[in-house]
Chain A
Amino acid sequence: MDSTLTQNAERGAETVQREDARRAVYEASPASDPRSPVMLFSADEPLAMDSGARLGPFQIAYQTAGTLNAARSNAVLICHALTGDQHFAQPHPVTGKPGWWETLVGPGKPVDTDRYFVVCSNVIGSCMGSTGPASLNPETGRPYGLDFPLVTIRDMVRAQAMLLDRLGIPDLFLCIGGSMGGMQVLQWASLFPERVFAAMPIATGARHSAQNIAFHEVGRQAIMADPAWEEGRYLEAGTRPSKGLGVARMGAHITYLSEPALHRKFGRRLQNRAAPTFSFNADFQIESYLRHQGLSFVERFDANAYLYLTRAMDYFDLAEDHGGVLGNAFRASKTRFCVMSFTSDWLFPTADSRAIVHALNAVAAPVAFVEVESDKGHDAFLLDEPAMFSAAKGFIEAAARARGL
């Protein structure tokens, strides 16, 4: 009897220790400590989601730069991409790298933080402080995992609108974002036309193509095939599906680049060796680079969040939501648009941007379109592209004049 009791007590103590350790890991992760302001929404003000779920309580982690003017007319919302976050102009809390859009946003930059009040929030379903699958489910006290409701781009936008309401921002001077961020920009202009004065969807599409869904599915299957994924319960199991998530990132990363960019950067050059090793080591520089991308990604991103956000992009089809006619999504729009694409982007090729432009033309919305010459692929929108900056500056400054800023 005694020995059984002791064994049980020991087992209990072990469990407690293990859970404490897990909790410590969880609490040190950006999901619970985003190192940025957080807006809390109680169970009384849930987020009504497309899936029918009502998420509450929930929280949105965000960052701001600049000052809101007295007329509250100079607010800019930056929408981040798939694995982006709210730290657009601040060092990343995990990697220490500079803000992800400091190329475009900052004092004297096209999105000038000396003139505009810039807000960027972590999307709902992500893992950098806004509620997502890595957050604790208040009903169970455990991480949501796959119990988290499926998220759509529209859900992200609705959550952002709730944040802006709280911040006292009636409408946006500018809504801007690339890739998944561009999808949110389009969704904003469609869902809240009266709240968006100017919109810049960059390197994006009004729907996710079959090819893009295919790439996402490969990534998701890589995560789910990792035994450490534990059917989505890895946080409780104390494991992390790092292999699967790393492979998912490696595959996705290829789609963000271009053949010319890969050739220029790596070619067929070997990694720190004079000849192939006749093994499956990372002989080629490109292999070594991709492995590094995979490894560094798993340190900052949650695997389940990756499943949810890729799914949100897959489900996005703005035309489908409006009777199959994309123009109908913007019928009431007075927003001025500037659509931008990059010549070497094969993930969201120029044709996708042109489809948006044609739809906006069909409903007589004021739209400008620029195709930037670049060999850097999809990621060009995050990089130093002077042609993008000059076009953005021209559009934003003209819009500011029209708004009296």
Chain B
Amino acid sequence: MSESFTDAASGVPWEAAEALPRGEATARVDHIVVLGLVPPGARVLDIGCGDGSLLALLRDRRGVDGRGIELSREGVNACLARGLPVIQGDADTDLANYPDDAFDVVVLSQTIQATRNPRIVLEHLLRIGRQVIISFPNFGHWRVRAELALRGRMPVTEIMPETWYETPNIHHCTIRDFVGLCRDVGARIEKATALDARGRPMRFSMPWWFWNLIGAQGVFLLRRGGERR
């Protein structure tokens, strides 16, 4: 068991995220992390883009050609008002219609755990985008484990605030689980980082099992072309 821990971690370039740019007080910290990963002028698809704040940030700071997919009409309307081309739709059904390599970067933020078929969604992301930035709540976080182990209850935390019967999150995974899925679909992990419960990047180097315990979110930069199992 501990061997596969090490095995899964090998070759994963865990890094401390870049120092936060100054003067970004209004932007969400996890958005700043994404900002650091997107090259200027890239074509970006943000899936589950909400009110478009990340896309607007990327457009204004990085000059990207940003597109979005959002489920809620309120979100789509907010994006329209920002001048963002956003489609009302959902990751499970709409990704199949995008051509290969349509985007330089595809972003899926805090959404994969809410999809009906995370594996197919991830495969589409790798097909549509040359690079994939994906973040998700880590179900291996110590507080989650403690809730289950000590109280015997499904955890309710800052980034998973809904009770089990209300949550849209139907496919929870740990950072370790996600590394396994990347292997299964042939994704190469180019960068990986963990965020704390407040969404701030954890800036010290630790063995990867440590992130699986104390990281509240995992953020991965993927590219297709890893060996498929």
**A residues apposed to B, CB below 8 Å:** 336-338, 354, 357-358, 361-362, 364, 366-373, 387, 390-391, 393-395, 397-399, 401-402
Which residue of A364, A368, A402 is within 8 Å of B80 (Cβ)? A368
Q: Contact at B73–A373, with CB atoms within 8 Å?
A: yes
Given known contacts A364-B43, A364-B102, A391 and B76 CB-to-CB distance under 8 angstroms: yes
CA–CA, A364 to B85, complex, Å? 11
Nearest-neighbour CB distance to chain B for A153, whole angstroms, equals: 25
**Least Cβ distance of A10 to chain B in Å?**
71
* Residues B81 and A397 in contact, CB atoms below 8 Å apart: yes
Q: B113 near A: Cβ within 8 Å?
A: no
Min CB distance B203 to A, Å, is 37
Contact B98 A394 (CB under 8 A): no
Best-surrounded residue of B79, B81, B82, B83 (most CB of chain A within 10 A): B83
B4 at the interface (CB under 8 A from A): no
Alpha-carbon gap, A362 to B89, bound state (A): 16
Q: Could you show 29 A-B contacts with beta carbons less than 8 Å apart?
A: A337-B85, A338-B80, A354-B89, A357-B87, A361-B67, A361-B97, A361-B98, A361-B99, A362-B98, A362-B102, A364-B43, A366-B67, A366-B85, A367-B85, A368-B79, A368-B80, A368-B85, A369-B87, A369-B89, A370-B76, A370-B80, A372-B73, A391-B77, A391-B80, A394-B80, A394-B81, A398-B81, A398-B84, A401-B83
Interface of B is mostly: mixed
In Å, the complex CA distance between A336 and B83 comes to 10
In chain B, what residue has the closest Cβ to A363?
B99
**Bound Cα distance A373, B72 (Å):** 11
Chain B, range 76-129, C-beta contacts under 8 Å to A: 76-89, 97-99, 102
A400: nearest chain-B partner, CB-CB: B83
Give 1 or 0 for each of B66-78: 1 = CB within 8 Å of chain A CB: 0100000100111
Task: Tell me the bound Cα distance from A364 to B67 in angstroms.
Answer: 10
B95 shortest CB reach to chain A, Å: 11
Docked pose: A309 CA to B84 CA in angstroms: 35
Binding site for A on B (CB under 8 A): 43, 67, 73, 76-89, 97-99, 102
Since A364-B43, A370-B80 are in contact, a sample of 6 more A-B pairs with Cβ atoms closer than 8 Å, ordered by chain A residue number, is A361-B97, A368-B85, A368-B87, A370-B76, A395-B80, A398-B82
Main secondary structure of the interface of A (DSSP, over half): helix
Tell me whether B77 and A370 are in contact (CB under 8 A).
Answer: yes
Docked complex Cα distance between A338 and B97 (Å): 18
Q: A361-B97, A361-B98 are in contact. Are A370 and B73 (CB under 8 A)?
A: yes
A401 to B84, CA, bound (A): 12
Cα separation A393 to B86 with both chains bound (whole Å): 15
Contacts of B79 in A (CB 8 A): 368
Contact across chains for B84 and A368 when beta carbons are under 8 A apart: yes
Contacts of A337 in B (CB 8 A): 85
Is the beta-carbon distance between B87 and A390 smaller than 8 angstroms? no
Q: Which residues of B contact A397 (CB under 8 A)?
A: 81
> What are the 4 closest A-B residue pairs judged by CB atoms, nearest first?
A398-B83, A394-B81, A394-B80, A366-B85
In the complex, what residues of A have CB within 8 A of residue B82's CB?
398
State the CA gap A402–B83 with chains docked (Å): 8
Q: How far is the CB of A87 from chain B (nearest CB, A)?
A: 29
Chain A residue at minimum C-beta to C-beta distance from B69: A369
Q: Which residues of A contact B97 (CB under 8 A)?
A: 354, 358, 361-362
Contact, CB under 8 Å: B86 / A368: yes
Shortest distance in angstroms between A391's beta carbon and chain B's nearest beta carbon?
A: 5
Would B88 and A370 count as touching, CB distance under 8 A?
yes
Instruction: Let me know if B43 and A369 touch, CB within 8 A.
Output: no
Residues of B within 8 A of A395 (CB): 80
Asked if B85 and A336 sit within 8 Å, CB to CB, the answer is: yes
* B77:A394 contact, CB within 8 angstroms: yes
A402 smallest CB distance to B (angstroms)? 6
Closest to B128 in A: A361
Closest Cβ–Cβ distance, residue B159 to chain A (whole Å):
29
Residue of A357, A368, A373, A398 with most partner-chain B CB within 10 A: A368
Q: Which residue of A lies closest to B45 (CB)?
A: A361
Most chain-B CB neighbours within 10 Å: which of A337, A398, A399, A401?
Answer: A398
B88 contact from A336, A366, A371, A393, Cβ within 8 A: A371
Which A residues are in CB contact (< 8 Å) with B89?
Answer: 354, 369
- The smallest C-beta distance from A303 to any residue of chain B, in angstroms, reads 40
- By beta carbon, the residue of chain A nearest B76 is A370
Bound together, the chains give a CA A402 to CA B82 distance in angstroms of: 10
Give the chain A neighbours of B99 by CB distance below 8 A.
361-362
Residues of A within 8 Å of B81, CB to CB, are: 393-394, 397-398
Would you call B83 and A387 a contact (CB within 8 A)? no
- Smallest CB gap from B87: residue in A: A369
Cβ distance B72 to chain A, nearest Cβ, rounded Å: 11
A358 CB contacts on chain B under 8 angstroms: 97
Complex alpha-carbon distance, A391 and B82, angstroms: 11
Kindly provide the distance from the CB of B90 to the nearest chain A CB, expressed in whole angstroms.
11
- Which residue, of A373, A387, A390, A394, has the highest number of chain B Cβ atoms within 10 A? A394
